[in-house]
Amino acid sequence: MAILGIDIGGSGIKGALVDLETGEFTTPRHRIATPEGALPADVAVVVKEMVEHFDYKGPIGCGFPAIVRDGVVYSAANIDHSWIGVNANELFSETTGCQVYTLNDADAAGTAEMAFGVGKDFQKGIVLLLTLGTGIGTAVFVNGHLLPNTELGHIEIRGKDAERRASAAVRTKKKLSWKAWSARLQEYISTIEMLISPDVIVIGGGISKDSNKYFPLLKTRAKMIPALLLNQAGIVGAALYAYQKSSEE
């Protein structure tokens, strides 16, 4: 069975059909630039374009950069504040004509990594997935079960949201060396370890492919490993979530 997964990011909206037996794409990934301002109606139009590109009919999973509870958006750190209170499930479903199931984007990535990636080997204890991109997304799993909407990228460090100091986008924007950026990431990870004491930390997002450049500069109590699915995880996890939710109905 192949289901459409969509990952809404700060700069791009990506999608692909996903084989839920293997966790692999059955189509090439398609990307459309996130509309300027990322207003609800504008994003919904792009989601519709994505569905039309794949000529798809069926349940759709959508990873979204916010706290999402039962499809309703409750935060807006990297999107327009007009999203708060919007039922994204209803908005996207009405626009596309398909049933859409929305969840936090980091939770989507973590769900994929636990089902098809390195997380398969760590179903006991506490696993923390960090997605380093435009911001810092977090997904926490306890004995394989997701604690949704943790949003630990927004803990305060030196008077700022942690993601405004240590995300991958900050490294690029400020042209930080790997050493300088790793010092910021180290401070963040050390704070997280003090708070929740994970057994395993999985680093995801596109920057995970460069793990050899900064992993040696970091020290953690937890076992630290790069994600296997890289920046495909959000799409895969969204598709898996849609399958799970549609199966419950």
Q: pLDDT tens, 153-204?
A: 999 999 999 999 999 999 999 999 999 999 999 999 999 999 999 999 999 9
**Element of type H or E holding 188:** helix 178-196
According to the model, what pLDDT value does residue 206 have? Answer: 82
pTM listed for this prediction = 0.93
According to the model, what pLDDT value does residue 76 have? Answer: 83
According to the model, what pLDDT value does residue 240 have? Answer: 98
According to the model, what pLDDT value does residue 26 have? Answer: 97
Regions of the chain with pLDDT less than 50: none
222 Cβ contact partners less than 8 Å away, ≥ 6 residues apart: 128, 193, 197, 198, 199, 200, 201
According to the model, what pLDDT value does residue 235 have? Answer: 97
Q: Do 74 and 200 meet the contact criterion of CB atoms below 8 Å apart?
A: no
Q: Do 218 and 186 meet the contact criterion of CB atoms below 8 Å apart?
A: yes
Our CA angle for 215, 216, 218, nearest 5°, is: 65
Q: Domains along the chain?
A: 2-107+232-248 (3.30.420.40), 122-227 (3.30.420.40)
Residue 174: exposed, middle, or buried by beta-carbon count in 10 A (0-12, 13-18, 19+)?
exposed
According to the model, what pLDDT value does residue 79 have? Answer: 82
According to the model, what pLDDT value does residue 178 have? Answer: 97
Beta strands (DSSP E) in 89-246 are 100-104, 126-132, 136-142, 145-147, 156-157, 160-161, 200-204, 223-226
Length of the chain, in residues? 249
Phi, psi of 37 (to 5 degrees): 90, -25
